[in-house]
Amino acid sequence: MIKKIKSSLFARVFLITSIMLLFVSLFVFGLLAWLMPQTYSNRLNTILDKRAQDFISELEQVPFSDSGGLFDQFVADTEINSVELYNSGGDWVTLPTKEFDNEWEGNIAQTAVTDFGEASPVLSNQYYFSFSDCNDRYTLVVYGEAEQISELQQSFIRIFPVILLIVFVTALVVSWLYSRMITKPVLEISRISEKMSDLQLDWTLDEQRTDELGTLGKSLNRLSRNLSTALSDLQNANRKLEADIEHEKELEQTRTNFFSAVSHELKTPVTIIKGQLEGMLLGIGAYKDREKYLTRALEIANTLETMVQEILTISRLETAGADFKKDCLDCVQIIKSYLSETEDLIAEKDLQIDLDAPPAALIAGNKLLMEKVFSNLIGNAIKYSPQEASIYISVHTEHRQIEFSVENTGAHIPENSIPKLFDAFYRVEQSRSRKTGGSGLGLYIVQEILHQHESECTVCNTQAGVKFSFTI
């Protein structure tokens, strides 16, 4: 029980408040039970003293022998219990009246018997005076009726159990209401604190209070909002971190696959060159024609050189990330410059180039990398276009962005090969790619460069041929 009370704020406040109310109520009742008789006694003494003083003034005007009527009249007063008269020697003097009982011996007792048979206090005062017919000094002792004081005390005693019951019940009710009023906001704050410890922040405390608890509630609401914001930011950061980790895993897997493909792609031409050189050195069969196979070996070596350079380009892209230098570039000028460099190949295949572009189209990017993008896309269109085909190059400016597309006619890409075009070392036609010297990295490099520029290349088959496009 004691342990339960100690662990409950409501129980402790209720118990302490009840004890305090009971103590204060009983103290007030006891104080009233003591003060009210005292106050009433003082009032009776004041009345008794006034009447006695008036009586003494009358006695001093008459001789002793004529004072009997005055005594009879004075004693007849309902508030006067009795009187005693003493001479200067302290001897009791018989009063000159027949109505008054003169058979008392000594001073009257300080209590009288009430109608109920209970002892009642008696008021008494002494007064000194002289009759008009002598100079002897007399002492008058006046006893006042104080039965009302006794009745008042008895009334307090009789109603004490009822008062005690009323005080007890009132103390319990008031203590319960007070404890609930005091502890309710504290318990609410405690409940909210437990929710906060579990990171449950979907609550709001009442901020209408103006006391310290109201201030605490406002502080908790602000803390909840701040924690909710911080938690949301933390969750977002965690999701971003998870996404970054997943992205890094994908990149790592891509690198692994890439280098695996690199090792395979490099191994094949190296093996061919090695075999041709050994055959020529040993003079085996067809390899006796050294001029023919030296030329083939040189072609393969050139292909290897191109592949290695492209691999180095990819490595620089992954190392630099998006931190490379960006300049203001003119796409139209880059395209025209590349077409000028390849005009011999264009003339050899008798290709028709149709360039639809404004005088200038400016973008923000790295010059060397973007030149690589345009040269690879346009170069692929030139390489894989049949004789006398047409190539359509388009550059349009819209909403501060550049839309570029290149379409070569006369050839299509199998639909199942389109999703794989931008994979490293993927070739639609292995024989044609080797004949044209393709490494299978050109489009992969294009996509990586565009990713660094927050763009992406797309490809689709058209009615006339194949179209590559991107927006930057």
Q: Token digits for 336?
A: 């025209």
Q: CA-CA distance, 11 to 227, in Å (whole number)?
A: 33
Q: CA-CA distance, 26 to 15, in Å (whole number)?
A: 16
- Residue 114 has what pLDDT? 40
- Residue 1 has what pLDDT? 56
Q: Are 149 and 37 in contact (CB under 8 A)?
A: yes
Q: CA-CA distance, 391 to 409, in Å (whole number)?
A: 6
Pair type for strands 390-398 and 352-356: parallel
Per-residue pLDDT 10s for the chain (472 aa) are 565 555 566 677 777 777 887 788 778 777 777 777 777 777 778 888 888 888 888 888 888 888 888 888 887 765 677 788 888 888 888 877 655 444 443 333 333 344 434 445 567 788 888 888 887 888 988 887 666 666 766 777 777 777 778 878 887 787 777 777 776 776 666 667 766 666 666 666 565 665 656 666 677 677 777 777 777 788 888 888 888 888 788 777 767 766 766 666 667 677 777 777 777 777 776 666 767 777 777 777 877 777 677 677 767 666 655 556 788 999 999 999 999 988 888 988 899 999 999 999 999 888 888 888 999 899 989 988 888 899 999 999 888 899 999 999 888 888 888 888 888 777 776 544 444 455 677 888 888 888 888 899 999 999 889 999 999 8
DSSP 207-240: ----SHHHHHHHHHHHHHHHHHHHHHHHHHHHHH
Q: CA-CA distance, 326 to 367, in Å (whole number)?
A: 7
- Residue 288 has what pLDDT? 67
Q: CA-CA distance, 356 to 92, in Å (whole number)?
A: 151
CA dihedral 242, 246, 252, 256 (to 10 degrees): 160
Indicate the domain borders of the chain: 2-172, 323-471
- Residue 91 has what pLDDT? 85
How is domain 323-471 classified at the CATH fold level?
Answer: Heat Shock Protein 90 (3.30.565)
In which residue are the tokens 């692929």 written? 380
Per 3-state DSSP, the chain is made up of helix, strand and coil in percentages (nearest 5) of 60, 15, 25
Q: CA-CA distance, 350 to 391, in Å (whole number)?
A: 11
Q: CA-CA distance, 291 to 454, in Å (whole number)?
A: 49
Run of H or E residues at 379: helix 367-383
- At the second CATH level, the architecture of 2-172 is 2-Layer Sandwich (3.30)
Q: Token digits for 338?
A: 């590349």
- Residue 433 has what pLDDT? 46
Q: Token digits for 367?
A: 């010059």
Q: Token digits for 105?
A: 């011996």
Domains 2-172 and 323-471 in one fold = no
List Cβ neighbours of 465 (8 Å cut-off, separation of 6 or more).
385, 389, 407, 408, 409, 410, 411, 412
Pair type for strands 327-330 and 138-145: unpaired
- Distances, alpha carbon 264 to alpha carbons 251, 268, 269, 299, in Å: 19, 6, 9, 18
A 10 A CB-CB count for 411 gives 15
- Residue 2 has what pLDDT? 61
